């Protein structure tokens, strides 16, 4: 799937997808649509180890 197809699935323009790929933030609307597209809940998305903060020592 290319950026244009992916942006259509998320309901955003292809420039927005490019920003996400380079570290730009996404709205909750986009995150929700992404989760729907890949078949997971928002809870599963945010429970990812990528969102875990290291505890200070």
State the pLDDT at residue 47: 92
Residue 53 lies in a domain: no
User: pLDDT by residue (tens digit) across 29-53?
Assistant: 889 988 998 999 999 999 998 888 7
State the pLDDT at residue 18: 87
Residue 57 lies in a domain: no
- Only one residue has tokens 């992404």, namely 34
At 15, list the tokens. 């420039």
Residue 54 lies in a domain: no
The answer, yes or no, to whether residue 16 has pLDDT greater than 90, is: no
At 20, list the tokens. 């996400």
Residue 23 lies in a domain: yes
d(CA 3, CA 21): 10
Domain extent, residue 39, equals 3-48
Domain total in the chain:
1
Q: What number is the average pLDDT over the span 18-30?
A: 86
At 28, list the tokens. 């909750």
Average pLDDT, the chain: 86
Residue 35 lies in a domain: yes
Residue 12 lies in a domain: yes
The answer, yes or no, to whether residue 54 has pLDDT greater than 80, is: no
Which one-letter DSSP state was computed for residue 41? -
Residue 55 lies in a domain: no
Cβ neighbors of 16 (< 8 A, separation 6 or more) are 7, 10, 24, 26, 30
């Amino acid at each position: 799937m290319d950026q244009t197809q992916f942006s259509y699935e998320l309901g955003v323009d292809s420039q927005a997808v490019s920003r996400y790929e380079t570290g730009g933030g996404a709205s909750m609307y986009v995150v929700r649509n992404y989760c729907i597209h890949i078949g997971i809940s928002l809870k599963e998305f945010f429970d990812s180890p990528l969102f875990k903060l290291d505890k200070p020592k």
